[in-house]
Structure formats: structure tokens, C-alpha cells
Structure 1
Amino acid sequence: MVLTDDDKSHVKHVWSVVLPHAGDIGADALTRMFAAHPTTKTYFPHFDLTPGSADIKAHGKKVAAAIGEAVAHIDNIAGALDKISTLHAQKIRVDPVNFPLLSHCFLVSIAAHHQEVLQASTLLSMDKFLGRVCAVLTSKYR
């Protein structure tokens, strides 16, 4: 998925709006993912998966930070997420199908909390961007 200059501009704009609340949106996305896709909970046996728990909030911040890194390095997402990609593929061994599930939940969380920023064009750009993030995160599985 090639991100156009317009896509990059839209993603950076959306992220500038989301950034002050990025950890909360990350936590909300995880909560939504666990509720909608219960099999994703298997990677978190040591977590308190209750919505709003300290574990969910802490991991939500990590998810948001990774997405923020990808935004900050939008021209080199693979380089920015290399360590995270390797960790998930080789150590944690997360089923790669889970990344698009979280990506979708992240978009839903943005829409739920900042619907004003997700117009048709920005939504498409964010979807392409998160698709690119998912492709990078699954690249180490091959």
C-alpha cells in the first residue's frame, strides 16, 4: 500500500488530534478488540483484562506509542517498527491475523472519541496507513 502525500498529510493531522489522548484510545481499542474477538485474549494470560484496568491502560499506551512511531517515521515505517515486528513474530508469536483486528478497533476508537477528524478522506488515509503498519508487523513471519 503506497501512501500518497495527501494520505501522509491526513494521517499526521489525525494523529495530531489523537495524540493528547493516544494512550486512552489505545486502551479503548484493546478493550474493544478483547470484547469483539475473545481469542485475542490468549496472548495476555497475566493481564487483568477488565476494561480500564492498569494492564489495559499500560498496554494501550504501548500500542499508541508504536503507532506514534510509525506516524513520526511515515516514510520508513518498517525501520521504525522493526524491533516490535521481530518481538511479536519471533518471541511472542502473535498470530498475524490479530494485527488487522486491532487496527480496525483502533480506527473505531478514534471515530468514537474524535469523529470530527475522520471524514471520508482521512478515514481512507488512516485505513491505508494502519494497513501498512499491519503489513510491517507481519513481515517477519515470512
Structure 2
Amino acid sequence: MLSADEKQLILHAWEKVHTHQEDFGAEALERMFTVYPQTKTYFHHFDLHHGSEQIRRHGKKVVVALENAVHHMDNLSAALCKLSDLHAYNLRVDPVNFKLLSHCFHVVLAGHLGEEYSPQVHVAYDKFLAAVSDVLAEKYR
């Protein structure tokens, strides 16, 4: 569970993410495909080269979904219900991939936020992204 202080840290850091949604999302996806190449299997129809429009568009979708979660931290299940259904029932994505992408998003945040990505912000985002991953995996149970 996120404390009030952690929620504020997430919201404050998100201000910088909000203005670079497509860039941060694409970078996180490209990193995931490089570090965890098995994740490419869900994107066999995508051009997976650096800077691909498909990756940029999907990266933006990912970050927009995270932004929705940021603004609904107190009710993630409701905020992410449709996305959870899509990934569980239609796309059949292995839920471990949510954690892999979360890890890559951490790296992107750390790289772009620099000193602003303090240990406290890191912990807050770790809890938040773990909660998002858990909610996205709820339909698999």
C-alpha cells in the first residue's frame, strides 16, 4: 500500500513523464525487447527496430495507461480493469512480462530523472509498479 507521501512523490515525478510519454514508453519497450528478448513474441507483427513508429505508438499507450493508474492510485483495479481483460483474455500475455516492463520503466525513469529519482522515489515507484503489475495479473487467477 502506498503512503500519502509516496503518492505525492509519484505524482511529482510523473509531471516530467507526462511531457515525454511517447519517448519514455518507447525507450522502456525497446529496453525490454533487448534485455528480455522472449517478450518479442507478443509483438511479432511489429517493426521492432529502434525508433519504429509501432514501438513509439505502443510505448505511448503503455505510458497513457500508467498515467491513468497514477491518477487512480486508490482504485487501480477499476482503473485497469479493461486493460487487464485485454491482456488476459485476448492477448494472453504471460503476466511475468508486466514485471519485466516495470523493471525497464524504472531504468528509464532513473535515466531521465537523474538525481530526482531518489531512493524514496524509487521505492514509491517500485510499490506502484508492483501494484499495477498485480492488478494486470488479477484475471489470470
**1:94 corresponds to which letter in structure 2?**
V
Q: Deviations over 1:5-43 (max 9, x none)?
A: 111111111111211012210100000000000000000
Q: Distance in 1 between matches of 2:117 and 2:48?
A: 28
Matched, 1:67 2:91: no
Q: Does the 8 Å contact 1:17/1:117 carry over to 2?
A: no
Gaps of 5+ in 1: none
Compute the displacement of 1:116 (Å): 2.7
Count of paired positions: 141
Q: Deviations over 1:62-103 (max 9, x none)?
A: 000000000011111111110000000011000011000000
Aligned to 1:36: 35
Aligned to 2:17: 18
**1:50 corresponds to which letter in structure 2?**
H
Partner of 2:27, secondary structure, is helix
Which range moved further: 132-141 or 108-117?
A: 108-117
Q: Distance in 2 between matches of 1:135 and 1:117?
A: 26
Aligned to 1:93: 92
Identity percentage over the alignment?
Answer: 52
Partner of 2:50, secondary structure, is coil
Aligned to 1:46: 45
Aligned to 1:104: 103
Aligned to 2:138: 139
**1:73 corresponds to which letter in structure 2?**
H
Aligned to 1:118: 117
Question: What is the CA RMSD across the aligned residues, in angstroms?
Answer: 0.7
Q: Which 4+ residue blocks in structure 1 deviate beyond 3 angstroms?
A: none
Gaps of 5+ in 2: none
